[in-house]
Amino acid sequence: MTMRSRRKVLMSSGRRKEKRPRCAALTGLFLCSWPAVDALAQAEPATELPPVVVTARKVQEESQNVPAAVTTLRKEEVERFDVSTIEKAAAITPGLIITRGNSGSGASINLRGIGPNFSSIGIEQSVAVIVDGVYYGQGRIIDEAFFDLSQIEILKGPQALYWGKNSTAGVLSITTANPGPRRELVGRVGYDFKTQNRMAGFVVSSPMGDRVGLRLSVNAENMHGGYVRNDAPAGTYTTTDVATGTPTAPAVQVMTLASAPST
């Protein structure tokens, strides 16, 4: 072997030795970078939703622990969407349908397609309406205006164990606001230009002790215009006994609905 060949071998081996530290350094850079990424991911705070407390089983518990389909409208959502009647609650609740009627119980409350016919006043609703623990079985509860609510819970499915046999389709539980630890004074005024509906209400709440509080809520509405205008003239209405065929009461003047002209 000549001197030139030895130099070439030494030079080539030296170049190989120079490449190894670079690869090791590059590999070390990647190895050091992975723990830094994991530490950064662990440092980010986890986003958690606030718990929703319901009274579906007559005790306060989180909705995720209740073995039933529950739709909850909290106080903030009730005020944001102006949920002052059951009909307004049905407008934003999937599966809850309310049909008004002019006789019988006044309305039919349906949940998941299950509900009675409003024409019979002797049949109670398949959806039990509970207001602060008090049961309402007739559909005319939809005419009641709700004010100063704390929460609305819609339980879908039979709830006979906790709310009785008249909850075949589900339960509509309405809870009004309770007195708080601080004094409150709230006033509201509204006016609907289309129906000429004037609204006013106020809330006064004050603690009377460690465990006793007082809360007073007053709401008033007066609709002058209404939704429909009846221009039909007054007519005569006479009640007759079917068995004898004789009138049971003198004729009275009533307002009849005007029919649309045929074309």
Tens digits of per-residue pLDDT, 77-134? 888 888 888 888 899 988 899 888 777 777 888 998 888 887 777 778 888 899 888 8
What are the tens digits of pLDDT across the range 155-183? 988 888 888 888 888 999 999 888 988 89
* Half-sphere exposure (Cβ direction) of 195: Cα atoms closer than 13 Å: 12
pTM as predicted: 0.63
Whole-number average pLDDT of the chain: 75
State yes or no: pLDDT of 206 exceeds 80. yes
Q: Which residues contact 145 (CB under 8 A, 6 or more apart)?
A: 84, 85, 219, 221
Q: Which residues contact 142 (CB under 8 A, 6 or more apart)?
A: 85, 86, 87, 98, 100, 106, 107, 109
Please state, in angstroms and rounded to a whole number, the distance separating the CA atoms of residues 162 and 167.
9
CB 96 within 8 A of CB 90: yes
State yes or no: pLDDT of 195 exceeds 80. no
Q: Which residues of 87-105 are buried (b: 16+ CB within 10 A; e: fewer)?
A: eebbeebebbebeeeeebb
> Where does CATH 2.170.130.10 sit in the chain?
53-177
CATH placement of domain 53-177: 2.170.130.10
Query: What mean pLDDT comes out for the span 202-211?
Result: 90
**Single-letter residue type at 12:** S
State yes or no: pLDDT of 257 exceeds 50. no
Please state, in angstroms and rounded to a whole number, the distance separating the CA atoms of residues 53 and 72.
9
Query: What mean pLDDT comes out for the span 38-59?
Result: 66
